[in-house]
Structure 1
């Protein structure tokens, strides 16, 4: 049987996936045709591959569709869509994970080694500062999902003293794990670097607030490649201005692109990157989609299946 797969995303996405997605399906042994919105009747669609900002917002007409497979790791903008009643899977992609691990470890090492003092040194000061060893530096990773766990494991391999926090208890080799509301402050207490990799849900909004910043080691660093609402922006600026925090490296924001004139752009203790910490690569994302369709056709649980109650 030939499967009808609807691809719903902005035109620039289709250009990227037009070749690799059919190729990945064929290589996986899936007999399928890929359509864009308007090219196939809704009642004939078997699977929907979509970006949450794409043209399909009403999923109700797709009465035969077996699953909606997101091209994004974050599903906060679609998980509450009442028309989306079919199984929903977020993107779990090897290149997404690898890219995040590389970005996070790079930023952690940047702050751990104090590289900024040498990169920005207009006075040409001979700054003889010996950084501590990784084994003497506490790094806390908030969020131990696929991305957070991979980053925590990479930091353990670099010999950092790694803590992790998640909604429910997780066991990660070499990581001191905390969970639940009571475990949050314990996880950040005395931490010199905090990495945020939590999903955006009502329960995680402003998880890093004034109390959490105050619990960190004085002169600590915050790295956020997760979601903008995880941080109370006003509390972050106050912590930076008081010296409680030395620097914040932010890749995600409440409004993107970050508006011109926003305080973060000009703040001397803030580094802004343009939501580039990790990105799905069309070739590997297409392979992940094909693998999930194979699982669904075999009656197996989808990789990245979203828990509607938890919001991710």
Structure 2
């Protein structure tokens, strides 16, 4: 079998992905022409990232699928010119990176590391933290990333609740769903992790009303998507002390503007969208596997439901 694959992502990534994709497809027994510039009507698959510049999929009349390099597909899912199947990126490298960020910052909060690092005043004041079994953590979003993070926290004996739009069953995690489940989940979340996709339905999931459901002093971690949080509502909740602290990795505008209130707020930690990143070596494996599956007449992995937006 022979296929033509268009690579449409940041040009700087092409030298990294070219050998990985060529080797992976050859190992799968697929003869492939992979390039950054192919006649649109000759393209079978598009390896895609929104920052590659491709906006109009209409000329790609032979394309069988668009294979995204990003986990989030909000920048492409609503594109009316895209009529072929769209697969998002789910790979173990990205998942592992996200899990490490979430677990690291949950432990930072749980163990009171900020206080130990920033306050060195010569006062001996032993105040040991509770055990993980006495700490409630809630993960909003139980997709691949949310499930992995929740299970890693459960393995450390945290009391973990997970919430999703539809019912899920995740080993070691108390799973809730729907509007009523969200209220229950938030009401007991000492530490809250946001790993929902960005859709019209999830925008401002944390707003004045839902923030008020959190226990006083709750800590928030957002490595998911910036629009999940109503920023003004969060700043108000931080100013009153209802929310004790927030660690934010993603924002509505990135890079976060230098004059944004989050930078100077004493109860906000900003990390520059580093919670996880697509790793070319593992991402290329996923792309090659999906092309192999498609060519064998098998369903693609990680297909996006365009109606839901993820």
Where on the TM-score scale, by shorter chain, does this alignment land: which range? over 0.9
Instruction: Please state whether the residue corresponding to 1:19 is helix, strand or coil.
Output: helix
Measured against aligned partners, the alpha-carbon deviations of 1:181-222 in whole angstroms (never above 9, x if no partner) come to: 222111111210000000000100000112222211111100
Aligned to 2:117: 119
- The 2-side partners of 1:106 and 1:243 are apart by 23
Aligned to 1:92: 90
Aligned to 1:28: 28
Q: Could you tell me how far 1:122 is from its partner in structure 2?
A: 4.4
- The 2-side partners of 1:152 and 1:5 are apart by 36
Aligned to 1:63: 61
Q: How does 1:214-253 map to 2 (within 5 A)?
A: 214-253=212-251
Q: Could you tell me how far 1:124 is from its partner in structure 2?
A: 3.8
Q: How does 1:1-312 map to 2 (within 5 A)?
A: 1-37=1-37, 40-312=38-310
Q: 46-55 or 220-229: which moved more? A: 46-55
Instruction: Please state whether the residue corresponding to 1:18 is helix, strand or coil.
Output: helix
- The 2-side partners of 1:171 and 1:54 are apart by 37
- The 2-side partners of 1:221 and 1:300 are apart by 44
Instruction: Please state whether the residue corresponding to 1:226 is helix, strand or coil.
Output: coil
Measured against aligned partners, the alpha-carbon deviations of 1:264-300 in whole angstroms (never above 9, x if no partner) come to: 1111111101111011111110011001111111222
Instruction: Please state whether the residue corresponding to 2:278 is helix, strand or coil.
Output: coil
- The 2-side partners of 1:102 and 1:254 are apart by 23
- The 2-side partners of 1:29 and 1:92 are apart by 23
- 8 Å CA contact 1:59, 1:84 repeated in 2: yes
Measured against aligned partners, the alpha-carbon deviations of 1:25-53 in whole angstroms (never above 9, x if no partner) come to: 2222221111103xx21111010001012
- For these two proteins, the number of residue pairs brought into alignment is 310
Q: TM-score, normalised by structure 2?
A: 0.98
Alignment gaps of 5+ in structure 1: none
- The 2-side partners of 1:126 and 1:211 are apart by 40
Q: 95-104 or 175-184: which moved more? A: 175-184
The CA RMSD measured in Å over matched residues stands at: 1.1
Instruction: Please state whether the residue corresponding to 1:283 is helix, strand or coil.
Output: helix
- The 1-side partners of 2:123 and 2:82 are apart by 59
Instruction: Please state whether the residue corresponding to 1:100 is helix, strand or coil.
Output: helix
- The 1-side partners of 2:275 and 2:119 are apart by 26
